[in-house]
A and B are shown apart, each in its own frame.
Chain A
Amino acid sequence: QVQLVESGGGLVKPGGSLRLSCAASGFTFSDYYMSWIRQAPGKGLEWVSKISSLSTYTKYADSVKGRFTISRDNAKNSLFLQINSLRAEDTAVYYCAREYNAVVDGASFYGMDVWGQGTTVTVSS
């Protein structure tokens, strides 16, 4: 069964740090690009970061650049997000997701086809 399971969320004070994890199973993790997406309470989806399958490149949303670091361990089928200098506006459910890339009749299609259930990060004093 293809599955992503996040962990590591919690209550942290402003300025603090957390390391989120995402455990993958049921597919060849090292074949896929992965992303982190977050959703503040009652708000929409916000992409946070993306990492290539072999960690050769990473991308970040401007709102987290310099504070968040995405990484992965393909040997352990795991994705990580190190979040530092936390602010109240970082309070959200954090999801990991797998990149979907299909080719039909020579045309490529992209999206995120597998999502975890999310882990909640609350930044409050």
Chain B
Amino acid sequence: EIVLTQSPGTLSLSPGERETLSCRASQSVSSSYLAWYQQKPGQAPRLLIAGASSRPTGIPDRFSGSGSGTDFTLTISRLEPEDSAVYYCQYYGSSVIIFGQGTRLEIK
């Protein structure tokens, strides 16, 4: 079974900075099935990136995704306090859906 490992586990940054979050798959996956989500406390997750690099309508261009094979990244530029959240990568397979363990990002 595919395992998604995210790094780092937690980080604290300042507004205006840029950060790249990592998601590594235990085996090669199609980019089509790699998504990223943002979850704020007490809220449902929000889809940020689908297909490793495509932003759904309404997602700010500060969020960008890239990668292929086993290594994928989510980059958040010009960090804002509202970006404080847990970020999850996801493999959306036809038979199984897998989430990474999440990266907690604090902006202060």
| Secondary structure class of chain B's binding surface, majority of residues | strand
A88 an interface residue at 8 Å Cβ cutoff?
Answer: no
Q: Is the CB of B44 within 8 A of A117?
A: yes
Within the assembled complex, what's the spacing in Å between the Cα atoms of A46 and B101?
A: 9
Q: Is the CB of A110 within 8 A of B33?
A: yes
Q: Is the CB of A95 within 8 A of B44?
A: yes
| Residues of A within 8 A of B (CB-CB), count | 25
Chain A nearest CB from B32 CB (Å) reads: 5
- Residues in A with CB closer than 8 Å to B37 are 45, 111-112
Q: Among the listed B47, B98, B102, which residue makes an inter-chain contact with A111, where contact means beta carbons less than 8 Å apart?
A: B47
Instruction: Give B52's nearest chain A residue, CB to CB.
Output: A109
Instruction: Give B102's nearest chain A residue, CB to CB.
Output: A44
B12 an interface residue at 8 Å Cβ cutoff?
Answer: no
Within the assembled complex, what's the spacing in Å between the Cα atoms of A102 and B47?
A: 13
Q: Which of A39-64 contact B (CB under 8 A)?
A: 44-47, 50, 59, 61
